[in-house]
Amino acid sequence: MNALAALRSAWRALATNLMRSMLTMLGIIIGVAAVITTIAIGSGAQQRVAEQIKGLGSNVMLVLPGAQTAGGVRLGAQTGQALTEEDAYAIAREVPEVQVAAPTSRTGTQIVAGNANWATSAFGMTPDYLEARDWPLASGRTFEPGEVSGSGKVALIGQTVAAQLFGDADPIDQVIRVNKVLLTVVGVLGRKGQNSFGQDQDDVVMVPISTFRNRIQGQAVGKLKRVGSISVKVREGVSMKLAEDNIRELLRQRHRLQPGTDDDFSVRNLTELLQAQEASSRVLALLLAAVAGVSLVVGGIGIMNIMLVSVTERTREIGLRRAVGARSRDILAQFLIEAVTLSLVGGAIGIVLGAAATWAVAYFAGWQVAMSAGAIALAVCFSAGVGVFFGFYPARRAAALLPIQALRYE
């Protein structure tokens, strides 16, 4: 018996009991579909975290004001006003591990351009902020040193703001009004997308920090140059922990904090937080895939049970085949092909079902998914392996039957 004849015989045997074959494949179908869907969801979650890390920038830390205390009551995180522009410049100057340290302040505002207007966030910053965030410009230029120090009436806008205010027109050299201050758009930021909190990072307008302080917020001359946060980029190959410790020690000295007192600021390693989130999503994806893999094992056990029943039902047929010259390996091949066929057909249906389930999750739940060819190949190979593994014992048992005993079987 050649391979083609064995395959035709296996197909006839499976088609004879079509309903039983379909029920046998059900476990494989569910298992393959579950594996593909869970891997797609897990891969999508990892891709989203990777995009957030890329959007954040590499080796980034954020220094924030600490908690304010009033009447012995601590008012919560970031309620204090302990950070200044000078703190940022001192960090960049005195901490050797730091590449740049950019002071930033933020407020909500309404922007007007011609007949269009848009509610967004206004950032006061220095060009170092773009370097810290690895944020390139899509067009135009960044701020010049004189504009940063002299409250220049210039602005950078994000992609969302550009689309809302100017549509398809070129925003460069256009005039916008922010809190009654007329500003000239000198650059458009590259697209960043959403951050880890789901906020649109492209919905922003950036101005020199002196412009923000003196013109938009209107602080009095001589008042301390308070800032809302300091974005710090650590040099490549340098320990983030060492940089964090040095930043903390420097700020405690500058703020004249006594030993044993709490910091009036906080330092957050954003890259490590997102990497921890990525590791968690990876572990969760592996866990879900392992649970889905159990379905494949259960489906394989079902195949083995049905194949054992098939061997019992077809004992006399096996005896007749052996009597007319079929060899043990022919019988082994026939039953093994039946088991593998059940697995592969079930796997193919499972792939279609898994792709449909993945699309449904992305469409209705709005989750980011990533179905790869590798996941499909893994599911197919696993289903074929299940067929070989669980079909070998029944096939070997059928091949081991003696012709005389098989012909006498009732």
In this predicted structure, what is the pLDDT of residue 271? 63
- Which are the contacts of 181, defined by CB distance < 8 A and separation ≥ 6? 153, 211, 215, 216
In this predicted structure, what is the pLDDT of residue 307? 78
Task: Please state whether beta strands 175-178 and 265-269 pair in parallel, antiparallel, or not at all (unpaired).
Answer: unpaired
pLDDT at 196 over 70: no
Neighbour-count burial of 95, counting CB atoms closer than 10 A to its CB (0-12 exposed, 13-18 middle, 19+ buried): buried
What is each CA distance from 255 to 163, 246, 333, 389, 396, in whole angstroms? 43, 14, 81, 69, 80
pLDDT at 366 over 80: no
- Is the dihedral angle over the CA atoms 226, 231, 237, 238 positive or is it negative? positive
Q: Residue 103: which pLDDT band, with cuts at 50, 70 and 90?
A: very high
Q: What is the DSSP string of 68-122?
A: -EETTEE--TT-----BHHHHHHHHHH-TTEEEEEEEEEEEEEEEETTEEEEEEE
pLDDT above 70 covers what percent of the chain? 84
The average pLDDT across 140-161 equals 93
Residue that the structure tokens 């930033």 belong to? 104
Contact 206, 155 (CB under 8 A): yes
Neighbour-count burial of 26, counting CB atoms closer than 10 A to its CB (0-12 exposed, 13-18 middle, 19+ buried): middle
Q: What is the pLDDT of residues 9-64, one digit of tens each?
A: 777 777 777 888 888 888 888 888 888 888 888 777 767 766 665 555 567 888 99
- Joined tokens for residue 321: 């085949």
pTM score, whole prediction: 0.59
Distance CA 408, CA 410 (A): 6
Distance CA 345, CA 334 (A): 16
Distance CA 162, CA 266 (A): 34
Q: Residue 74: which pLDDT band, with cuts at 50, 70 and 90?
A: very low
Q: Which of 226, 369, 238 is nearest to 246 (CA)?
A: 238
In this predicted structure, what is the pLDDT of residue 317? 77
Q: What is the pLDDT of residues 280-311, one digit of tens each?
A: 767 777 777 777 677 777 777 887 888 788 77
pLDDT at 321 over 80: no
The average pLDDT across 400-409 equals 69
